[in-house]
Amino acid sequence: MLKVGLLGAGRIAGVHATAISTNPGSTLVAVSDINNDAAAKLATQYGAEARATDAILNDPAIDAVLIATSTDTHSDLIERATGAGKAVLCEKPVDLSLARAQACQKVAAKNGKPVMIGFNRRFDPNFSALKAAADRGEIGKTEVLSITSFDPAPPPVAYIKVSGGLFRDMMIHDFDMANFIMGAAPVTVSAVGTSIVDPAIGEAGDVDTAVVTLTYADGRIAVIKNSRRAVYGYDQRVELLGSEGLLQAQNMLENTVVKSTTAGVTGAKPTYFFLERYMPAYAAEWAAFVAAVNAGSALPVTLDDGVAALAMAEAATQSAKTGKPITLASVLN
């Protein structure tokens, strides 16, 4: 039974608390948050204790730590938790700064404890089924990957200003999805971006709509499309062309009801946002972490994966600004 400390008590921490508590192989022992009341409330709900972060990290009875705090604390907490001998599952991204993330990567490697980054989409039943089918060779040799990833509505401009920008905040999930499905890092990253959804986002120095093309050493190509706004709901699709066919992971819908009238044939919208769409993925992600830690086996997503996606975000940011393709190698050096 894995004894777990949860750092953070916000909305996504609540999702993780449920996963920890309902998983038969783990128990939630303690919760910390800069907001004491939030920590207390969440702890009570699941029969755990509210503690200070240090008290969690220093407790030898705690085996693992789940980091669900604000992004600017991730690197420090990964370093401290692994230094304290804890297995770690940390929400993405590792850091907004690639250099800081790479430094963290080195410290964690030295500390020798497993660190998993919360790229929850890898555990979505649809995307994981697509990946499994591709790995079984069901469409032959893979050639072209397309990822469509639209949020239902843009966040407040105030958030965008501290988010690191669309490529680091939003598309980073899609960069990881590309790495997951292609099983390789790209050679070049070419990005175009625009603030067509909301000019205020452009004025804040960011884009709200972007298309990124990735090329691979073996001639494969990937395309990622992002928009901060799809009024019909969370649009999360993956499409993979291979020498022997095409795989598509389509949207989850709110229900299966279809209405036919003189106005046409109308079905339900996609599930609204990530909590609705990816709730099963969070539980599967945690189950994979528990299984790997308990077995001492390799984690399915690593800190290296977190750094790799961040490097692609860095390259895309540069490409969108300069209008030129950026090699991933140039960013990593």
CA 160/CA 103 separation, integer angstroms: 25
Of 180, 252, 279, 182, the C-alpha closest to 221 is 182
Q: What CA–CA distances, in Å, run from 91 to 14, 75, 120, 169?
A: 13, 11, 9, 12
User: x/- contact string, 259-288, with its own copies (CB under 8 A)?
Assistant: xxxxxxxxxxxx------------------
- Determine if 205 is a binding residue for its own copies (CB under 8 A): no
Under 8 Å between Cβ of 328 and 188 = yes
Among 35, 36, 250, 297, binds its own copies (CB under 8 A): 250
Of 135, 227, 222, the C-alpha closest to 177 is 222
Burial level of 234, CB count in 10 A (0-12/13-18/19+)? buried
- Determine if 245 is a binding residue for its own copies (CB under 8 A): yes
> Please, what is the minimum distance in Å from the beta carbon of residue 239 to its own copies?
8
Contacts of 161 (CB under 8 A, 6+ apart): 204, 205, 206
- Determine if 158 is a binding residue for its own copies (CB under 8 A): no
Among 192, 279, 287, 332, binds its own copies (CB under 8 A): 192
Q: Which stretch binds its own copies (CB under 8 A): 64-72, 106-114, 244-252, 293-301?
A: 244-252
> Please, what is the minimum distance in Å from the beta carbon of residue 142 to its own copies?
9
Under 8 Å between Cβ of 208 and 229 = yes
- Residues in 111-140 that interact with its own copies by CB under 8 A: 125-126, 129-130, 133, 138-139
Which chain residues interact with its own copies by CB under 8 A?
125-126, 129-130, 133, 138-139, 143-144, 146, 148, 150, 188, 190, 192, 194-197, 209-211, 213, 215, 218-221, 223, 225, 227, 229-233, 235, 241, 243-270, 323-325
